[in-house]
């Protein structure tokens, strides 16, 4: 039930500030990685915001996740520079290697694949970021190497 | 005030009005698919574009400004509008022939008006499945043009928050929170979404086939009743003026359709008043859970059960009028005619989609030993049945209802309009308390379309404070006012509160016709002008009625003396009253 109290904690903090629903949702996602039904229901009750409105916000912004993402979050930059330098092919390789589409997680809960627009190091284009670690000058051939690297990380844990 | 020119026509509008408002005032028609008089503009469809100083803008959400010169129509605007419409059509299925809104669809009408003759844009259709889980309202996402009227109505007007926008852009869909089916959502089935939907994306749950099946079965005695509000709206489907009271023709049409007996829910309304006024007088004297709330509106009852369960003891325990008629038809009437109650089937024609849900809301809806009302169809569905059978409605000679479940007073007929139930109940409550009749039978302040109407009625020196809530979205303020007074130990602001979930009352219910009229050049279905005309239709009948008091309905008196016994007594309680339960917002 530790998760269930997240909603009420976030609500207690943000309830009095008008228009702060997004901040409360951020807070939940920061801690837990996603916002699920029970969080949203609790937030609705404690912030006095209709559940329907909460899901309007949750689904409007790509940033919010409704399900637990994979342990390793792969962000493929599809900003202009990275895209032109061939990150579309890198993205396709990730999809085929993992058997998932963008915005999805693998069934084993290991990987989550998402697209982002510019991570601020276009000089290294095309760029991917996995759990904060940046990989520059990506090629489709690098993809299995990176995946194996992270499989090893989680095996050790 | 702001002065501007629309297509060179000078027009003056109040500050804050849009260019579209100004154009309508100047009798200039600008095509729209999303803007409805009942809702704020959503700027969703893009059809209402106009030119101001060479710039193209949406007239629904651009405020009229001093000295503005607006062009609403030229070849370029026409071409752009047509393209916008073609884009909307590229996401809309071509299933008009079998659509529930065929012939009264704003999109179909627009496509016809704009002369769309081919489809150049590749079609992308939604694969979302139909949601008929509420068994009252059907959501068909593929037909949604995301105009946003239903969301505006559900969230802002009705304050129910069952419908919402999920996702965005092409993926936008209108549904419950986290894709909840309507039947598992806070939906109260008022049907105002369906009443405002421009296409067939939200319609009533069609039960006409169930009625045809009953009528085919010659072993059965299928009886029918019509709600007060049906009589002043059905005619719109057959070319009559808005608000025409066509009770006699409707009775005739129902007999032609094959119903064995034609009853009137107004009889049930008089019966409701006897029970409800008796209950109010007792509760008033005993100070028992005041204020008392009316309970005729199933959408309001559903709202209370979901949103204010702690206040359920305030609801009158009276069933709604058509449920009372159902219970009496399968007991008293069955005995009187010596018919096996199992063979009697009751069909209710209602202006309402929530009534479809009400008939099975709990076991008290089967007080006769059978489900008291078997099928509910809306006014729209009755119109379809009449058309389906080729009945020439306009030329039908007027007929009478079958007695004894057909007699009614003027007090009963105004049940269909906001303030009517309260008025009818007070007329009888006054008589019960004082033994005298009210001098003035109407309470001016509670008539009309204001959100919350209040009055104080002097009953032999005792002040009875009443409130009439017009539209369930306005109930929260009254409920909170009462709760605050209770919490602070202050004197209660009201003794008796009427709530009808639909703005205007049942006359503008979710199941009422949505047709085009000469003075309304779009099938908007409902607006305040239509609300007023239909209300007038019912109020006129009351004013002209020879008996305007429920307690003087002779058939009702006989029902009590022959069968029910005392008003509010044990038998009456078993057949005519219900109970309430807390229901979750989401299942």
Question: B13-22, B37-46, B349-358, B406-415: lowest mean pLDDT where?
Answer: B37-46
B482 contacts B291 by C-beta, under 8 angstroms: yes
- Residue B506 falls in the annotated catalytic set: yes
Q: Is A56 within 8 Å of B178 when comparing Cβ atoms?
A: no
∠ Cα B468 B469 B471 (to 5°): 145
Q: What is the pLDDT of residues B24-72, one digit of tens each?
A: 899 998 999 998 889 988 888 999 999 999 999 999 999 999 999 999 9
Q: Is A52 on the interface with B (CB under 8 A)?
A: yes
| One fold for B96-205 and B210-576 | no
Describe chain A by its helix, strand, coil percentages, rounded to 5. 50, 10, 35
Q: What is the pLDDT of residues B262-302, one digit of tens each?
A: 999 999 999 999 999 999 999 999 999 999 999 999 999 99
Name the average pLDDT for chain B. Answer: 95
Task: Specify which residues B220 forms β-bridges with.
Answer: none
pLDDT score of B521? 57
- In whole angstroms, what is the distance from residue B272 CA to residue B323 CA? 10
Burial of residue B353, with CB atoms counted within 10 A of its CB: 0-12 exposed, 13-18 middle, 19 or more buried:
buried
Contacts of B529 (CB under 8 A, 6+ apart): B242, B519, B520
- Residue B296 falls in the annotated catalytic set: yes
Residues of chain B contacting residue A52, judged by C-beta atoms under 8 Å apart? 155, 161-164, 176-177, 186
pLDDT score of B487? 95
- In whole angstroms, what is the distance from residue A44 CA to residue B70 CA? 45
Radius of gyration of chain A (CA): 18
> Strand B375-378 vs strand B344-350: parallel, antiparallel, or unpaired?
parallel
- In whole angstroms, what is the distance from residue B575 CA to residue B275 CA? 11
Helix (H) or strand (E) holding B326: helix B321-328
In this structure, how many other beta carbons lie within 10 angstroms of the beta carbon of residue B314? 20
- Residue B61 falls in the annotated catalytic set: no
Residues of chain A contacting residue B585, judged by C-beta atoms under 8 Å apart? 51
Report the b/e string of A10-28 with b at 16+ CB within 10 A.
bbeebbeeeebbeebbbbb
CA nearest to B443, candidates B461, B418, B460, B462: B418
- In whole angstroms, what is the distance from residue B72 CA to residue B7 CA? 6
Multiple choice CATH, B210-576, 3.40.50.300, 3.40.190.10, 2.60.40.3080, 3.40.50.1780: 3.40.50.1780
CATH architecture, range B96-205:
2-Layer Sandwich (3.30)
B290 contacts B486 by C-beta, under 8 angstroms: no
pLDDT score of B275? 98
- Catalytic hit among B279, B323, B407, B498: B279
Describe chain B by its helix, strand, coil percentages, rounded to 5. 45, 15, 45
Domain positions in chain A are 4-60, 72-156
- In whole angstroms, what is the distance from residue B251 CA to residue B226 CA? 9
ipTM: 0.89
B251 contacts B542 by C-beta, under 8 angstroms: no
> Mean per-residue pLDDT for A88-104?
94
Q: What is the pLDDT of residues B420-435, one digit of tens each?
A: 999 999 999 999 999 9
Task: Specify which residues B346 forms β-bridges with.
Answer: B223
CATH architecture, range B2-89:
Roll (3.10)
Q: Is B164 on the interface with A (CB under 8 A)?
A: yes
Q: Does domain A72-156 have CATH number 3.40.30.10?
A: yes
- In whole angstroms, what is the distance from residue B114 CA to residue B131 CA? 31
- In whole angstroms, what is the distance from residue B252 CA to residue B257 CA? 9
Q: What is the pLDDT of residues B376-408, one digit of tens each?
A: 999 999 999 999 999 999 999 999 999 999 999
């Amino acid at each position: 039930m530790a998760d269930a109290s997240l909603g009420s904690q976030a609500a207690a903090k943000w309830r009095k500030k008008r228009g702060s629903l997004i901040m409360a949702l951020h807070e939940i996602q920061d801690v837990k990685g996603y916002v699920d039904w029970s969080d949203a229901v609790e937030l609705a009750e404690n912030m006095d915001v209709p559940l329907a409105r909460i899901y309007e916000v949750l689904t409007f912004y790509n940033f919010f996740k409704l399900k637990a993402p994979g342990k390793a979050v792969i962000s493929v930059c599809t900003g202009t520079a990275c895209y032109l330098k061939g990150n579309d092919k890198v993205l396709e390789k990730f999809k085929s290697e993992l058997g998932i589409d963008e915005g999805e997680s693998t069934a084993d809960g290991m990987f989550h694949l998402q697209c982002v627009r510019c991570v601020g190091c276009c000089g290294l284009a095309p760029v991917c970021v996995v759990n904060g670690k940046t990989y520059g000058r990506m090629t489709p051939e690098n993809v299995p190497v990176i995946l194996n690297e992270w499989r090893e990380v989680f095996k050790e844990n | 005030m702001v002065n501007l020119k629309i297509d060179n026509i000078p027009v003056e509008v109040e500050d804050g009005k849009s260019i579209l408002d100004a154009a309508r005032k100047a009798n200039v028609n600008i095509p729209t698919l999303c803007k409805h008089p009942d809702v704020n503009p959503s700027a969703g469809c893009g059809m209402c574009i106009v030119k101001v100083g060479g710039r193209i803008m949406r007239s629904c959400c651009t405020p009229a400004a001093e000295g503005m010169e607006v062009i609403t129509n030229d070849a370029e605007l026409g071409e752009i509008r047509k393209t916008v419409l073609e884009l909307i059509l590229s996401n809309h299925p071509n299933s008009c022939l079998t659509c529930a809104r065929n012939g009264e669809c704003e999109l179909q009408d627009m496509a016809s008006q704009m002369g769309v003759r081919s489809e150049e844009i590749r079609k992308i259709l939604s694969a979302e499945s139909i949601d008929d889980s509420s068994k009252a309202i059907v959501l068909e996402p593929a037909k949604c043009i995301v105009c946003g009227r239903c969301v505006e109505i559900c969230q802002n007007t009705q304050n129910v928050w069952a419908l919402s926008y999920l996702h965005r852009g092409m993926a936008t869909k209108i549904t419950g929170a986290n894709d909840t089916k309507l039947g598992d959502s806070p939906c109260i089935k008022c049907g105002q979404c369906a009443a405002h939907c421009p296409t067939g994306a939200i319609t009533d749950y069609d039960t006409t086939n169930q009625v045809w099946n009953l009528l085919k079965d010659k072993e059965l005695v299928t009886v029918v009743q019509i709600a007060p509000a049906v009589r002043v709206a059905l005619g719109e489907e057959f070319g009559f003026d808005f608000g025409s009271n066509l009770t006699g023709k409707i009775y005739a049409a129902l007999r032609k359709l094959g119903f064995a007996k034609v009853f009137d829910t107004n009889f049930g309304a008089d019966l409701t008043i006897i029970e409800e006024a008796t209950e109010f007088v007792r509760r008033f004297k005993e100070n028992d859970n005041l204020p008392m709330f009316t309970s005729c509106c199933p959408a309001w009852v559903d709202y209370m059960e979901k949103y204010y369960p702690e206040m359920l003891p305030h609801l009158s325990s009276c069933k709604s009028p058509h449920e009372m008629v159902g219970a009496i038809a399968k007991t008293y009437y069955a005995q009187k005619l010596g018919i096996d109650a199992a063979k009697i089937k009751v069909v209710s024609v209602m202006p309402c989609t929530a009534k479809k849900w009400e008939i099975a809301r709990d076991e008290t809806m089967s007080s006769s030993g059978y489900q008291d009302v078997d099928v509910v169809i809306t006014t729209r569905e009755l119109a379809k049945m009449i058309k389906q059978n080729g009945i020439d409605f306009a030329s039908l000679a007027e007929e009478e209802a079958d007695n004894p479940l057909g007699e009614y007073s003027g007090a009963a007929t105004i049940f269909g309009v906001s303030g009517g139930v309260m008025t009818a109940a007070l007329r009888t409550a006054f008589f019960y308390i004082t033994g005298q009749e009210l001098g003035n039978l109407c309470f001016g302040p509670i008539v009309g379309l204001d959100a919350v109407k209040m009055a104080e009625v002097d009953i032999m020196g005792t002040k009875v404070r009443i409130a009439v809530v017009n539209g369930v979205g306005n109930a929260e303020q009254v409920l909170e006012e009462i709760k605050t007074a209770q919490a602070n130990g202050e004197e209660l602001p009201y003794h008796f509160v009427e709530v009808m979930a639909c703005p205007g009352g049942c006359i503008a219910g979710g199941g009422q016709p949505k047709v085009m009229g000469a003075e309304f050049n779009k099938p908007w279905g409902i607006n305040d002008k239509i609300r007023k005309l239909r209300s007038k239709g019912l109020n006129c009948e009351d004013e002209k009625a020879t008996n305007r008091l429920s307690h003087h309905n002779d058939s009702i008196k006989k029902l009590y003396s022959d069968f029910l016994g005392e008003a509010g007594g044990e038998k009456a309680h078993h057949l005519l009253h219900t109970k309430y339960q807390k229901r979750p917002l989401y299942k």
